[in-house]
Amino acid sequence: MSMLIPPLILMLAILSCKGGRYRRFIEWGPDLAPGSFCSSRQCCPGRDDSCTVEILGSVCYCDVFCNRTANDCCPDYYVTCQDVAPVTIASCRFYGKDYDPGIVIRDNCNLCTCSLVQLFRYDWVCSNNTCLIDVQRFNQTSETLGWQAANYTRFWNKTFTDGIKEHVGIATESKAQNMSSVQRKLQSDLPTFFDSRNKWTSWIHPVRDQRNCASSWAFSTVDVAADRLSIESRGLLTNQLSPQHLLSCNRRRGQRGCEGGSVEKAWWFIKRKGIMTEECYPYYGGNTTAADQKCLANMETCPNANSSTAKIVLYVTPTYRVGENEEEIKSEIYKRGPVQATMRVPADFFMYQSGVYRHTGAEVGQSELAVRVVGWGEDADENGRKRKYWICLNSWGTKWGEKGAFRMVRGENHLGIEGNILAVHADMKRSLATHPSEGIRDEGLINIYTNKQIVVIKRPRPTAQP
Ligand SMILES: *[C@@H]1O[C@H](CO)[C@@H](O)[C@H](O)[C@H]1NC(C)=O
Ligand SMILES: *[C@@H]1O[C@H](CO)[C@@H](O)[C@H](O)[C@H]1NC(C)=O
Ligand SMILES: *[C@@H]1O[C@H](CO)[C@@H](O)[C@H](O)[C@H]1NC(C)=O
Ligand SMILES: *[C@@H]1O[C@H](CO)[C@@H](O)[C@H](O)[C@H]1NC(C)=O
Ligand SMILES: *[C@@H]1O[C@H](CO)[C@@H](O)[C@H](O)[C@H]1NC(C)=O
Ligand SMILES: *[C@@H]1O[C@H](CO)[C@@H](O)[C@H](O)[C@H]1NC(C)=O
Ligand SMILES: *[C@@H]1O[C@H](CO)[C@@H](O)[C@H](O)[C@H]1NC(C)=O
């Protein structure tokens, strides 16, 4: 701890010529113990070249022209003449522990070096990255934020840049912005609160974890597809679907797997090629990069040799865009099930734990997150003002947010959440035609149990060729 090095090291003596003032001086380390130099003489106002004291065979200065950068001020100049308390210990402190000069430590997502910041003063000099867990914002009360923040271990130490790279997923704005929206009759008398998970229960697929892979584009797409297939087949086709199929096989035209992709291209892929089930083609989550890239969908059997189901491929119809209007979006969800939305991601979003999320001024990233919107509601803030929200499902696991869900300010297109709402219908005909289950494929009328009710499904009749 004691860094008081005896004043042995005469580092160098140089001749300095500045403004006609000739001065021979010695540089001494700032860790030199302060003695009585200026205090044994006197401090000189203005410039006084004779205002010196002997030190280590040379002189040091006590006039206000002494130069702290060149270390020609006497060691006690600041404490005696400027009334500035010197820090005589050459070290930096971090959480009660002292570190030597030159030591590099990590403070959250920044690296800090213990450096000489001015004569007699060492301090940390840190990089200035935006961190996912912003300690200052984290300390703000939920009254200030309007929602509760949490310190997630998986996001601690991470920069916003890495957070976007590893956990978000749409590199560019989706082209679907220009897709025309469908005109539908609006449902009137919608309830003030609605959650698809209550209405359709097990047909709404659970929140998953994309882990360190920017694959929200794939997760939200296959999960909306799975929800819609379940709802429209009345519980016949409820399989969880495979984001890995998209990550590995939908790779051309700028689709970059764990480095991001476009939701519109993902939908287009499922419409054309279909999508396999999660069990059949399980998620690698960017852990095995080789397996990540190789498309295994063209085999007769499942890529997962242990799969208990046969290879099932399900299809959807072309994507449609729902108008950027609260009532239209609500009506769509209420009648037909979850929709997909994309939003810009601010740094503070990573800390969201509960409440109605609103961006608080933290840095906002370029890339977008794709999520499922499953419902809406409203509550009151601390001042009793009404707050409308969407219920959205993220793909950051169930430990994040409200069991994997978050509530987002509704009706303001906050962060673009209402600007790009996409949905699809199940392509029942193609999905059933290729379904390997005899029971499902061949029977015209199928009785199955879902949620303890018998659901009768009529197999769609083949349509006549025009
Ligand atoms: C202080 O000394 C440094 C290093 O010798 C020199 O670069 C700088 O110009 C000096 N500043 C003044 C005000 O003399
Ligand atoms: C660090 O970055 C923030 C935001 O980008 C900026 O306001 C601040 O001035 C920077 N601080 C330093 C020491 O560069
Ligand atoms: C945050 O709060 C903790 C405990 O209340 C406190 O020790 C810490 O200094 C605060 N940090 C900031 C940056 O305000
Ligand atoms: C956040 O969590 C990490 C790891 O769990 C911990 O090291 C860190 O001190 C925490 N930060 C705050 C501000 O609580
Ligand atoms: C943060 O980074 C430091 C240094 O790399 C490491 O020792 C520590 O375990 C990390 N903490 C978390 C929570 O990842
Ligand atoms: C969308 O349409 C606008 C104007 O209608 C046009 O400027 C823009 O380039 C289009 N974007 C794409 C991706 O096609
Ligand atoms: C299949 O199961 C066997 C035995 O349980 C196991 O060793 C193997 O790793 C599994 N393979 C896959 C691809 O999960």
pLDDT recorded at residue 11:
31
CA of 265 to the centre of ligand 6 (A): 17
* Cβ burial, residue 268 (10 Å; 0-12/13-18/19+): middle
Q: Specify the range with the lowest mean pLDDT, choosing from 6-10, 190-194, 309-313, 427-431.
A: 6-10
pLDDT at 319 over 80: yes
pLDDT tens-digit profile of 189-225?
899 999 999 999 999 999 999 998 999 999 999 999 9
CA of 155 to the centre of ligand 4 (A): 10
Residues lining ligand 5, Cβ inside 6 A: 106, 153, 156-157
Query: What confidence tier does 445 reach under pLDDT thresholds 50, 70, 90?
Result: very low
Name the nearest CA neighbour of 29 among 94, 146, 116, 157.
116
Q: Specify the range with the lowest mean pLDDT, choosing from 15-19, 94-98, 114-118, 245-249.
A: 15-19
Q: Please state, in angstroms and rounded to a whole number, the distance separating the CA atoms of residues 13 and 26.
A: 5
Q: Whose CA is nearest to atom 2 of ligand 3?
A: 139
CA of 47 to the centre of ligand 4 (A): 51
How does strand 386-393 pair with strand 364-380?
antiparallel
Which ligand 7 atom is the nearest neighbour of the CA of 305? 13
pLDDT at 98 over 70: yes
Contact 326, 411 (CB under 8 A): yes
Residue 233 pairs in a beta bridge with: none
Task: Give me the domains of the chain, ranges plus CATH numbers.
Answer: 7-82 (no CATH), 92-126 (no CATH), 149-423 (3.90.70.10)
Q: Scanning the structure block, which residue is given the tokens 């190789």?
A: 294
Query: What confidence tier does 436 reach under pLDDT thresholds 50, 70, 90?
Result: low
Higher pLDDT, 446 or 118: 118
The arithmetic mean of pLDDT across residues 339-362, rounded, is 94
Query: What confidence tier does 27 reach under pLDDT thresholds 50, 70, 90?
Result: very low
* Cβ burial, residue 347 (10 Å; 0-12/13-18/19+): buried
Residue type, 314: L
Q: Please state, in angstroms and rounded to a whole number, the distance separating the CA atoms of residues 358 and 421.
A: 19
Kindly report the average pLDDT of the chain as a whole number.
81
pLDDT recorded at residue 359:
93
Q: Specify the range with the lowest mean pLDDT, choosing from 57-61, 191-195, 438-442.
A: 438-442
pLDDT at 19 over 50: no
pLDDT > 70 in the chain, percent: 79
The arithmetic mean of pLDDT across residues 80-84, rounded, is 81
pLDDT at 71 over 50: yes
Query: What confidence tier does 13 reach under pLDDT thresholds 50, 70, 90?
Result: very low
Hey, is 441 helix, strand or coil?
helix
Which ligand 5 atom is the nearest neighbour of the CA of 106? 4
Residues lining ligand 3, Cβ inside 6 A: 135-136, 139
Per-position b or e across 36-56, b if 16+ CB within 10 A of its CB: ebbbeeebbeeeeeebbbebe
- Pocket test of ligand 7: the residue of 306, 307, 308 to mutate, having most ligand atoms within 8 Å of its CB, is 306
pLDDT tens-digit profile of 376-429?
999 988 788 899 999 999 999 999 999 999 999 999 999 999 999 999 999 887
pLDDT recorded at residue 56:
77
The arithmetic mean of pLDDT across residues 234-260, rounded, is 89
Contact 87, 38 (CB under 8 A): no
CA of 282 to the centre of ligand 7 (A): 12
Higher pLDDT, 442 or 272: 272
Name the nearest CA neighbour of 329 among 240, 404, 389.
389
Would the pTM count as exceeding 0.85? no
- Pocket test of ligand 6: the residue of 170, 178, 324 to mutate, having most ligand atoms within 8 Å of its CB, is 178
Query: What confidence tier does 226 reach under pLDDT thresholds 50, 70, 90?
Result: very high
- Pocket test of ligand 6: the residue of 172, 175, 177, 368 to mutate, having most ligand atoms within 8 Å of its CB, is 177
CA of 431 to the centre of ligand 7 (A): 29
The arithmetic mean of pLDDT across residues 444-460, rounded, is 44
Which ligand 3 atom is the nearest neighbour of the CA of 139? 1
Query: What confidence tier does 243 reach under pLDDT thresholds 50, 70, 90?
Result: very high
The arithmetic mean of pLDDT across residues 172-191, rounded, is 70
pLDDT recorded at residue 235:
84
- Output phi, psi for 201, to 5 deg: 35, -110
- Pocket test of ligand 1: the residue of 69, 77, 118 to mutate, having most ligand atoms within 8 Å of its CB, is 69
pLDDT at 348 over 60: yes
Q: Whose CA is nearest to atom 2 of ligand 7?
A: 306
Q: Is the CB of 156 under 6 A from ligand 4?
A: yes
pLDDT tens-digit profile of 109-152?
999 999 888 766 788 999 999 999 998 888 787 777 889 999 99
pLDDT at 22 over 60: no
pLDDT recorded at residue 241:
96
pLDDT recorded at residue 25:
33
